[in-house]
Amino acid sequence: MTARLDTDVLVVGWGKAGKTLARTLGSAGRRVVLVERDDTMVGGTCINVACVPTKALVHQAEGRREDDDADAYLARAIASRDGLVERLRAANHGMLATVDAVTLVRGEAAFTGERTVRVTGGEERLEIVADHVVVGTGTMPRRPGIPGDDGPRVHDSTSIQHLDAVPERLAIVGAGTVALEFASMFARFGSAVTVVARGAGILPREDDDVRASMVDALTDAGVRILVHADPERIDDDGAEATVVTSAGTVAADAVLLATGRTPATAALDLAAAGIDEDERGYIVVDELLRTSADGVWAVGDVNGGQQLTPVSLDDHRIVLAQLTGGAPRDRDDRIAVPTTVFTTPPLGRVGVTEREAREQGRSVVVGAKPVASIAAMPRPRAVGETHGIIKLVVDAETDLVLGAALHTIDAQEVINLVALAMRAGVTATQLREGIWTHPSSTEALNEVLADLR
């Protein structure tokens, strides 16, 4: 027998956008049902397997000393990570469980018709009919589809966070953000890390000088980077895994596949609701995040946009405005969205690169200096981490910042200041003449922007 539940708003998936919508609307008295299929994903990908736990592990790895027992140290780091996740998961559950107008449902959701979902949990069935539906089921790690990519020593970005021991040799297939964060992390945990890059190098979007800065930092940490290495298969002889590539083989005790993510939509039966997907399985949305089905929105990673928690938070604002009659906003309102690669040191990025600006025909001047040579920025020397480069691209005619790459300690914070300056129309001259805390990484702006060329 299937029970029925009618509601104003149905949210499928407990991610950043969905949970924030549920709490905001529920607190205003709107009837909301939130469906989540996995108790270990309460609160969303970010707090459970991505942003927060991985950065906690990065922090732990940075604190390891050479004489620390590698396996014991990793075990303590994972225990600390798990404790943090449990606390965050409980807090996320509490923030919705205490809102009377929000009903939490555990089970697998599948559309059966227009704004109608059947939720299955064991032997129980619940049909939910809603006036409005918000899909926010996120993404999952994607396998490359090569022979052996499901072997016993092969991990994705989730499973590798719970290794029993530090692998003596770790091969990472991929050369993007996730690959480099884990490469930097496990090198500090004690692994000999090899990054297997399909193309000519890591971070293909970045300018050559920024990429070289990252390569130097990784290499000094003991990371080897194999380029032009198209993975063909992964063999396992019972003693070790071997990644066979077009550029040679890499023997390893563990392999991490950091080859992108895929939308978690397979179980939803989107076609039953008239919801279109693109060729990769992401839900197609317009600038207001509306799907092809009337009254249905898709938020967060599942809509194929930037896979960033703050973007998911902004998705909630776009949908909330439509559901409450608030000031309208859409995806085109997003300007200067900053990102960070949490290697050691991190790489903060916003706007265009120098190459992109010149390809666009912009007249630009550029300020770029290695962190180790920036006299006005003593903080890196004070904490003993002087790898990196500070680079800003400035419009030669308007003096406005067009983009920045900050490969330095504190980059995840300073990049937000630069992004705000770009959104607010603050000029490079104003940033150069700013009075900043001393000693801080922000002080680099005083020196780097004084030497634009």
Active site residues: 438
Distance from the Cα of residue 341 to its chain's centroid: 9
List of residues 6+ apart from 329 with CB closer than 8 A: 317, 318, 321
Please answer whether residues 58 and 181 qualify as being in contact, where contact means their C-beta atoms are separated by less than 8 angstroms.
yes
Please answer whether residues 115 and 273 qualify as being in contact, where contact means their C-beta atoms are separated by less than 8 angstroms.
yes
Q: Which two tokens stand for residue 338?
A: 């900053």
Residue corresponding to tokens 């000999």:
192
- Answer left, alpha or beta for residue 361, where phi above 0 means left and psi between -120 and 50 means alpha: left
Interior/surface letters 136-166, b for 16+ CB within 10 angstroms, e for the rest: bbbbbbeebebebbeeebbbbbbebbebeeb
Spatial separation of the C-alpha atoms in residues 42 and 201, rounded to whole Å: 37
Please answer whether residues 228 and 246 qualify as being in contact, where contact means their C-beta atoms are separated by less than 8 angstroms.
yes
Residue 77 burial (CB < 10 Å; 0-12/13-18/19+)?
buried
List of residues 6+ apart from 133 with CB closer than 8 A: 9, 10, 11, 12, 115, 117, 273, 293, 295, 296, 297
Spatial separation of the C-alpha atoms in residues 372 and 39, rounded to whole Å: 46
